[in-house]
């Protein structure tokens, strides 16, 4: 049997889980993984990242349909998408990006009741033998270190209107 140690997960396993929408709870309690708060949207690190620097842009308002976004929310999501790419380029020098939304359970939405945009930095060779052979992902940097690199850069690059 293979053993992989992830001691940081114990805090989550033992913690009391908030009732209601995970994203609404994050924006209300200023979660440690929220690295930027705008007027109508915020940027949060994905708690279960595909790779280091996997971020999500989330409207503060609880909505599950893209067609329900206000013009302000649409504008801020796109502005934060631009900012997020700039931040990740400076802090992590990725070779490319995956970006997108999973709308609805059939599309793979894990939290379908609150829309969000994923921004995933990618590097040549970031899918290594662990993923291919063992179906295991290796995240080489802890989340607080990544957050500390990224958060200050949002203030540098994002210009609210």
Residues with a known catalytic role: 116
> What kind and span of H or E run contains 98?
strand 96-100
Structural contact between residues 138 and 132, judged by C-beta atoms closer than 8 angstroms: no
Closest CA to 114 of 54, 42, 51: 42
Neighbours of 50 (CB within 10 A): 17
CA–CA gap between residue 122 and residue 99 (Å, rounded): 10
Closest CA to 58 of 18, 95, 28: 28
Residue 112 CB-density burial (10 A; 0-12 exposed, 13-18 middle, 19+ buried):
middle
How far from 25 is each of 30, 32, 38, 88, 150, CA to CA, in Å? 8, 12, 16, 25, 22
């Amino acid at each position: 049997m293979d053993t992989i140690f992830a001691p940081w997960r114990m805090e989550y396993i033992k913690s009391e889980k908030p009732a209601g929408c995970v994203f609404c709870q994050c924006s209300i309690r200023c979660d440690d993984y929220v690295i930027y708060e705008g007027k109508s949207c915020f940027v949060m690190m994905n708690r279960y990242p595909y790779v280091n620097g996997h971020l999500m842009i989330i409207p503060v308002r609880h909505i599950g349909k893209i067609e329900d976004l206000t013009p302000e929310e649409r504008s801020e999501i796109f502005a934060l998408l631009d900012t997020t790419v700039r931040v990740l380029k400076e802090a992590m020098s990725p070779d490319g990006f995956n970006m997108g939304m999973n709308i609805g359970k059939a599309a793979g939405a894990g939290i379908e009741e609150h829309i969000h945009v994923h921004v995933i930095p990618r590097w040549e060779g970031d899918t290594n033998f662990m993923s291919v052979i063992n179906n295991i992902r290796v995240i080489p940097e802890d989340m607080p270190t990544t957050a500390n690199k990224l958060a200050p850069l949002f203030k540098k690059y994002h210009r609210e209107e």
